[in-house]
Amino acid sequence: MVRINGKSIVKGIAIGRIMKFSKSENQVKREKINDIESEIKRYETANAEAKKQLNTLHEKALKEVGESGAAIFEVHEMMLEDDDYMDSVKNIIRTQEVNAEFAVATTGDNFSELFASMDDEYMKARAADVKDISERLIRILSGSSAETDAMNEPVIIMAEDLAPSETVQMDKEKLLAFVTRLGSSNSHTAILARTMNIPALINVDISDDWNGKTAIVDGYNGTLIIDPTEEVLKLMEARQKEDQENQQLLQDLKGKENITLDGHEINVYANIGNVSDVAHALSNDAGGIGLFRSEFLYLGTDDFPSEEEQFKAYRTVAENMAGKKVIIRTLDIGADKQADYFNLDKEENPAMGYRAIRICLSQPEIFKTQLRALLRASAFGNISIMFPMIISLEEVKQIREILSQVKKSLDEQEIVYHDVEIGVMIETPAAVMISDELAKEVDFFSIGTNDLTQYTLAIDRQNPKLDAFYDSHHPAILKMIKQVVDNGHKEGCWVGICGELAADLTLTKTFLEMGIDELSVSPSSILSLRKTIRETTLN
Ligand code: PEP
Ligand code: MG
């Protein structure tokens, strides 16, 4: 047994086999295709091959483990023949003009989310089966064999570093934990791990020799244990069980208000990165979506998502949230979130570079496509639009101008949309200082403490060496938050926090006393935040 120290970025215990992450594996790339019919044929051929494989497996299992053990392969075969499943794959290929692998992966995700959210235990269990058949199809389509398929059981991923675009594409059902050598607590990969609620360690001196070994990730103590002894394994399993029991206790808070002992209420919303996170937000009783990082729709693909694809994603989120507020942030690409097809230059200081609203305002066609998709989706729920990295009033005016052009073109085409609330992220010191003026232009503010800390303290949030200096409790940050709340309220703007600090329970009381109206946190933090709010009395 070996014990290695690292830095924990997500608490929790994971026990399982380590798998070295290799950059080319585990990812289904979205590719544009020209010949739709031959792509559909490719899918049909793969489907037939999958059925053949399952048939063989069924026969083998019948001989080796009997009827009940073999039945699962029959279920899988039936799923492969399901009309809804097949239609969905073909529709995605047709309407989005994409490769069969991508269409199967998307369908697999959607269907398994659907099953997972059902009340019936039997149906819930089918989520894993849908994933399984989708993976089989993808393996066949991409020519890799089941034996070499790296992620056919839940694993602890070990990597030098993980980019957000890699993390976002991983199959969450198969991820037990992350262990990386590089990375920082405030990076988007860390944020994604929190959103997925999987234990994660950074700064671990990883070794290729661990590949395939059993390990324990202890996110409470920041340690990784390789080849644990029976005794340690038992101890950690007990700890894991305790965790699950505590989670269970929090479930009692579902349906309860976010109200302090002396009657102050606050909204608690969820931060999400993609459509499938909505199920997680709902199962944790989110009052709304406070931040949908829309740029994740642009990552891990080889071309811009079309208006139609975006529309469908935003509409699905809005519909699933059933009238609850859904705040969608426009594209915040750049810095650590890179997509090749944007052709962004390498920059000396990417965090202070060409990113987010700066790209949108200088390439209005990209921006307009997104705004059209957002406005169209607004007819299907309660969508608000929020803009990142704002530093000036001029930017907000330009945004309003572009937005009115988009609305005009929708009017001309008689396409309906709702009157959406408009907000800005307050994540630069400049935005804080002019928040009195910005408040006159928008309906709400959402404070991005991740970037606000980075820009105020002059600390690169990506640099692991600076983690110890990255102090979000710095008085400068807290004073700024208070200033933004006061300036916002003077003009009737509501003010929320959607940076990671919102989930910091040691500051919950402070935020309530400041008059913050909303806290938006990763779905798994919602109920513990509610618990803290309900145990608080304001001064
Ligand atoms: C922030 O900066 O606090 C924020 C919420 O945005 P992101 O973490 O995506 O930069
Ligand atoms: Mg930010």
Domain with CATH 3.50.30.10 in the chain: 2-22+149-248
The two structure tokens encoding residue 425: 């992220």
CATH of domain 259-534: 3.20.20.60
Specify the pLDDT at position 23: 58
pLDDT higher than threshold 60 for residue 157: yes
Ligand 1 atom closest to 501 (CA): 3
The three-state DSSP-derived secondary structure of 265-290 is ECEEEEEECCCCHHHHHHHCCCCEEE
Ligand 1 atom closest to 449 (CA): 3
pTM: 0.75
> Is 448 near ligand 1, meaning CB less than 6 Å away?
yes
Q: Which residue numbers are catalytic?
A: 188, 498
Note residues around ion ligand 2 (Cβ under 5 angstroms).
427, 448, 451
> Is 518 near ligand 1, meaning CB less than 6 Å away?
no
Task: Tell me the CA–centroid distance for residue 169 and ligand 1, in Å.
Answer: 20
Task: Tell me the CA–centroid distance for residue 39 and ligand 2, in Å.
Answer: 39
Mutate to test the pocket of ligand 1, among 498, 518, 525 (most ligand atoms within 8 A of CB): 498
Domain with CATH 1.10.274.10 in the chain: 36-142
pLDDT higher than threshold 50 for residue 324: yes
Question: Which tens digit of pLDDT belongs to each residue from 488-498?
Answer: 999 999 999 99
Does an H or E element contain 65, and which? helix 36-80
Task: Tell me the CA–centroid distance for residue 459 and ligand 2, in Å.
Answer: 14
Report the distance separating Cα 444 and Cα 396, nearest Å: 13
* Cα dihedral 239, 245, 246, 251 sign: positive
Specify the pLDDT at position 519: 98
> Is 451 near ligand 1, meaning CB less than 6 Å away?
yes
Please check whether the domain covering 2-22+149-248 is classified as CATH 3.50.30.10: yes
Question: Which tens digit of pLDDT belongs to each residue from 206-233?
Answer: 998 999 999 999 999 999 999 999 999 9
* CA end-to-end distance (rounded Å), the chain: 50
Specify the residue for token string 């101890």: 235
Looking at per-residue pLDDT, the higher value among 268 and 149 belongs to 268
Please check whether the domain covering 36-142 is classified as CATH 1.10.274.10: yes
Residue nearest to atom 4 of ligand 1 (CA): 448
Domain with CATH 3.20.20.60 in the chain: 259-534
Report the distance separating Cα 383 and Cα 431, nearest Å: 23
Ligand 1 atom closest to 450 (CA): 3
Q: Of 87, 75, 28, 83, whose CA–CA distance to 51 is shortest?
A: 75
